[in-house]
Structure 1
């Protein structure tokens, strides 16, 4: 990229690549997600209630989240697997893809994995692979899985603790508490807050919205009256038209 365009790589580095490019992501977080699914998921939960009054909307959101947290915790409590369900599915798919890998070990539990013409170094002690997928996500890649299978060891032991049952239950150990209905809320002797009075502004209300600088203004075929000079073509006079022109005898 540097050889093709130096300005392109300079602009790329100015966009803070650790937030969207996996090649620059820090391995501490054990997360390779570069898009914000959290907001989209939350918006999907409130899309049915966000048109309500603010108090009713917040009550419905609280109930939905309370039920979700209970369901998520019970799902993992009833599970006999030590790995989260979604991560387990990823590992099963990766096992099938690892069949094309050929690992070659050395004495320090390091492997040179060959895939067609490519080669990668896998270190089982450090839980690392030069493809960086295992380092960033904490989930063994297909090259690491081929080495683990060669050693006849359990793949689940090499999965990061973030994706295990114990950590999952710790995330859902606290629950939202149920609340009484509005008829049982304590009454306060305070002045009721009323909406502001409607004040009619002078002038004709605008029908079109205020456009941003990058928006194209609406094209109109109507001619503005200000600044136009009327012309009576029969006599070539400006400032008059056929109706207002006074003929000279």
Structure 2
């Protein structure tokens, strides 16, 4: 697409013993360069010599920094419910069960009772 062969094509061309210049576009050759610059390019006057107009100079709008933290992730709407991952399970509306004592309503990390020792379960 660029007019130059890629590295894979170059290795194939050299392996076959063909001339690499035949596969390069004419725009990259010396003749095209000389044709491009054979005419004289006359320089332009600088901005200080340009003709002044009656209008003000065009300036970009002033930068205003946003007053809030930038949004990292878009908010999901009700129509996005179907697009959730089918492999991840939701823990919503499930009863939590403590794996330490088996009590309902909390997890092991929120358990207020002392932790069971491993040797107590062996007895």
Give yes or no for TM over 0.5: no
**When the two structures are superposed, what TM-score results if normalisation uses the length of structure 2?**
0.34
Query: When you count strand as a share of all residues, which structure comes out higher?
Result: 1
Higher-RCO chain (CA-CA 8 Å, sequence separation at least 6): 1
Pick the structure with greater CA Rg: 2
**When the two structures are superposed, what TM-score results if normalisation uses the length of structure 1?**
0.21
Query: When you count helix as a share of all residues, which structure comes out higher?
Result: 1
